[in-house]
Every structure is written in structure tokens, then in C-alpha cells.
Amino acid sequence: MDNQSKSTHARQIILASASPRRRELLASLGANFVVEPSLSGEDVPADWEPARIVEELALRKARSVLARRSGAGVIVGSDTIVVLEGTVLGKPDTAQDAVRMLGMLQGREHLVHTGVACIDEASGREDVRHGSTRVRMKALSRRRIEDYVKSGEPMDKAGAYAIQGLGALLVDSIEGDYFTVVGLPLALLGEMLEGFGIGLMPSNP
């Protein structure tokens, strides 16, 4: 879609993210937005529930951009983690780590949680929510996992796979919102933006 020109909402959205996926997803809605990557730490207490982790990290990302700006838009931050039976999997540190993560995930179900935070720059009002989607991965041989990791795709993805890429070949099924897995739950974000007076659906006269 030819996005940015079709946008009808006046207030600007600031996407607090360096993720090309998040940028593409937001662009697919025709939103009028700019990108400002965030600089925030990702350390959280080990006993936090997944939903709390992704909401907190999404909020930190949005707040870190708020601190550098003085505009009148709405800042959007987001964070994604994969959770397998209570174990949180972030992005792999090395190819070996990616092989380890995929070895854990193969043949089983896990949850992908994505937090979304919106902050109104003018008032400082915040809204933070999350989406969770269940993913079942196919049974994979060690060879198949190593071949996938060699593609390089897993390295900047939570849980070491990308459902929107070659990782689609590894997924058996999902239950819930696809965009939550890719890293930005679009319907949830749309609802939240409406709460800040930003409607993304073009309105006809």
C-alpha cells in the first residue's frame, strides 16, 4: 500500500523502535509516523510474569524517547518475548544460543508475548497493554535447526525465529494474533491509538 500519503490523522505517531518489522507493520496501516529508536535497559526482576515484563519494557522504550523530545504526538514502544513453560527466551546471543533455543522450542507449544505502550507527549498520559499468542513448532532435526540458524534470520528475533520469514517453515500452527508474534499487535495498537484520538481507518465524507 502507498502508506504515508493515505494517512488522515493529524497527530504524529513516534515509533520508539529500531525494529524494521515494527516499522513495516505500522506502515502497512497507512499511519503517519516517524521512527526514533529507544535507548533503554532490558533488565527486569527474574520473578516477574511475562505480561509484566513486556509491558514494562515497552513502557521504558516509549519513556526513553519521551525524555529526548518535546513534541505533541503519541509515542509507541513495544517489546516481544517468547516463553516456554516459564522460561523466557529473548534474542539469541550467538548462533549456538539460537540452536539451543530452537532445540527447546521444536515439537512443542510456547507463548509469544508483546507489550505495547503509548504515551501522549502533551499530557504525559500513558496506556500499556499486551497481547499473547500460542505457537506450536514442528518437530525439527538438529540438522534442520542448524540449517535455519545458518540463514542468519534468527539472530535478532526473540526465541530465535521469525514467523514472517523462513521461520514460517518451522511453525505448525498458531492460536491468536499473528502480528503479536511478529512484534506489534496491530488491532490492539489501533484500539489504543483511538483512545488517544488517533483513528487510522480513513473516514469517508
Would you please indicate which residues are annotated as catalytic (active-site) residues? 79
Smaller CB separation from ligand TTP, 183 or 185: 183
CB atoms within 10 A of CB 104: 18
92 binds ligand TTP (CB under 6 A): no
By CB under 6 A, which span of 78-86, 93-101, 140-148, 190-198 interacts with ligand TTP?
78-86
Q: Which amino acid is at 87?
A: T
By CB under 6 A, which span of 79-87, 98-106, 137-145, 196-204 interacts with ligand TTP?
79-87
CA count, 13 A, side-chain hemisphere, 74: 24
CA separation for the pair 103, 40 (Å, rounded): 30
By CB under 6 A, which span of 23-31, 122-130, 139-147, 150-158 interacts with ligand TTP?
150-158
Calculate the CA 129 to chain-centre distance: 12
CA separation for the pair 38, 62 (Å, rounded): 7
Point out which residues bind ligand TTP (CB under 6 A): 17-19, 21-22, 37, 61, 78-80, 82, 91, 112, 156-159, 161-164, 167, 181-183
